[in-house]
Amino acid sequence: MRIFTFMRPLYSPDLIFLATKTFHLQTVLKELENVYRPGLKLIATQNGLGAEDLIADKFGADAVYRMSLNYGASLKGVGDVATAFFNPPNHLGGLTPQNDELGGDIAKTLTAGGLETEFVDDIKFYVWKKMIMKCTMASICAVTDKTIKDALDFPPHP
């Protein structure tokens, strides 16, 4: 595994998946200025609302995709992540129609690699759907002292 603390070693990538906490996004975008070039596509995978808009403000809407990931994970240590659940598919969408064909290809490649992904026309619908689910589940999990996985697996009361 290769871990970068700054972007220069990336040289000339075609795609960069941004998988940082949203409160670090501005720092990451500043670093991306060192490697960004026209044609590079940036895929926001963060939870929350608006990350794709912040990226588009800096690099243009045609450079940006957004993913809504439907799996839960926990950090066990540096470079050690455990997947708690995966409710396929993940959703990927572009901010401009010109990116639809490439977006479909990216989704197919991720699916072929075992991460089932669908390209969708309205990614914000799926981002909002996930946000509503997380907000709903957060209070249930807090009151019952369960993880989201535990709450999703909990059998209904007869």
- pLDDT tens digits, one per residue of 130-155: 888 888 888 888 899 988 878 888 88
Pair of tokens at residue 25? 């996004």
Q: What is the DSSP string of 80-112?
A: EEEEEEE-SPEEEEESSGGGHHHHHHHHHHHHH
For residue 135, what are the contacts with CB-CB under 8 A and spacing of at least 6? none
* Tokens linked to 99: 């990116």
Query: What per-residue confidence (pLDDT) applies to 5?
Result: 62
Residue 46 lies in a domain: yes
**Domain assignment of residue 75, yes or no:** yes
- Domain membership of residue 3 (yes or no) is no
Q: Which of 38, 32, 42 is nearest to 67 (CA)?
A: 42
Decide if 33 is inside a domain. Answer: yes
In this prediction the pTM is 0.83
- Output 18 or 79, whichever has higher pLDDT: 18
Give me the number of domains the chain comprises: 1
Expressed as residue numbers, the domain containing 112 is: 8-153
CATH number of residue 62's parent domain: 3.40.50.720
Most confident of 1-5, 14-18, 120-124: 120-124
**Does residue 60 register a pLDDT over 70?**
yes
**Span 70-121, pLDDT tens digits:** 888 777 888 888 887 888 999 999 999 999 999 999 999 999 999 999 999 9
